[in-house]
Amino acid sequence: MTTHLENTIRSVQPLDEPAMQAARSRQNELTKPPGSLGRLEALSIQIAGITGQPRPTLRRPAIVTLAADHGIARKGVSAFPIEVTAQMVLNFLRGGAGINVLARHIGAEVIVADLGVAVDLPPNDDLIVNKIGYGTRDFSVEPAMTREQARQSIEAGIRIAQAAIARGCDILGTGEMGIGNTTPSSAITAIFTGRPVREVTGRGSGVDDAGLSRKVAVIEAALALHQPNPADGLDVLSKVGGFEIGGLAGVMLGAAAARTPVVVDGFISGAAALIAASLAPAARDYMIAAHRSVEIGHRAIFDYLRLQPLLDLDLRLGEGTGAALGISICQAACKVLDEMATFAEAGVSNKEA
């Protein structure tokens, strides 16, 4: 029997070339010198290929913010205690976090899900509870999760994406909350890119020099212990990943299978993108990199996936904040393609004098 993950992977198809060609042709007919709107033009063409619509419109964005805790956080790799994960989820639900502000700014829904917070949260109609476990295990001494839990976390993200798209959401952004999650993200990045751990590991939420050295040493020892296989995304996720990272990979796969653009937030979302692309290489074309984080490993992810971020604002908050800003640029790119007059419509000559 095939799994939901396997069915989703098989559903990811190449971009729609006829739609992209139609969008490209229209861009060349709009009242502007060809290429004068730079990457906005290329972005609109990519979104046409994703959606299969020569003139795509993006009217109902959503940010999917997934939360989970990490056993590795108890090794002193974060500047904050693990209790903050649950506290911030409650803040999301009250509408008081940075992602809530920026989501309101672009008119986006914020979808909040508990995939592995270490405590049970109070019941809330706006909280999706799909707890794979009460945090991962400490991957410095044992695998972060079982292979089955890795699959479950990805499938949870797929279902969250599918439900949002079924409700009419037409562009998704990824976000997360999990104290300590830059540590598994650095580990995942080192595994897939082949870069030394020190070159892809930053200060996360703000650890000092001693904390950074400890973080690097913990990751190096874990990779030597577990020997994750970069050719097997589930193996990597199970050995050094996180439930929210797996969930975000699932959101990306679910969006790609449904021909829906997915705007990838910061470093943790980038690590999830590595997992998703390892499982379904064609899903990479459905990803739009929102911004370049200050986390040094983020650059290695872009190089490996051949993605170019839309923004560089020194962001390092996560939650989906960069994705919200990236979605606004995607909307602008599509509006230019759809609403700008052509030379013929405007009665403007496009001939050289």
Residues marked as catalytic: 319
Token pair, residue 5, equals: 């993950």
Cα–Cα distance measured from residue 42 to residue 35, given in angstroms and rounded to the nearest whole number: 9
- Which contacts (CB < 8 Å, 24+ apart) does range 210-214 have? 211/76, 211/77, 211/78, 211/79, 214/75, 214/76, 214/77
Dihedral angle computed from the Cα positions of residues 92, 95, 99 and 105, in that order, rounded to the nearest 10 degrees? 160
Of the candidates 140, 113, 145, 177, which has an alpha carbon nearest to the alpha carbon of residue 241? 145
CB 65 within 8 A of CB 319: yes
How many Cα atoms are found within 13 Å in the side-chain-facing hemisphere of 150?
A: 20
Alpha helices in the chain (DSSP H): 4-11, 17-29, 39-51, 83-94, 98-106, 147-166, 182-193, 209-226, 233-240, 243-257, 267-279, 296-305, 321-339, 343-346
Of the candidates 132, 95, 127, which has an alpha carbon nearest to the alpha carbon of residue 117? 132
Cα–Cα distance measured from residue 254 to residue 8, given in angstroms and rounded to the nearest whole number: 7
CA 320 to each of CA 65, 224, 262, 309: distance values in angstroms, whole numbers, following the listed order: 7, 32, 12, 14
Q: What angle do CA 307, 308, 311 make, to 5 degrees?
A: 135
Please name the helix (run of DSSP H) or strand (run of DSSP E) that holds residue 289, with its range, or none.
Answer: strand 287-289
Cα–Cα distance measured from residue 187 to residue 220, given in angstroms and rounded to the nearest whole number: 8
CB 181 within 8 A of CB 270: no
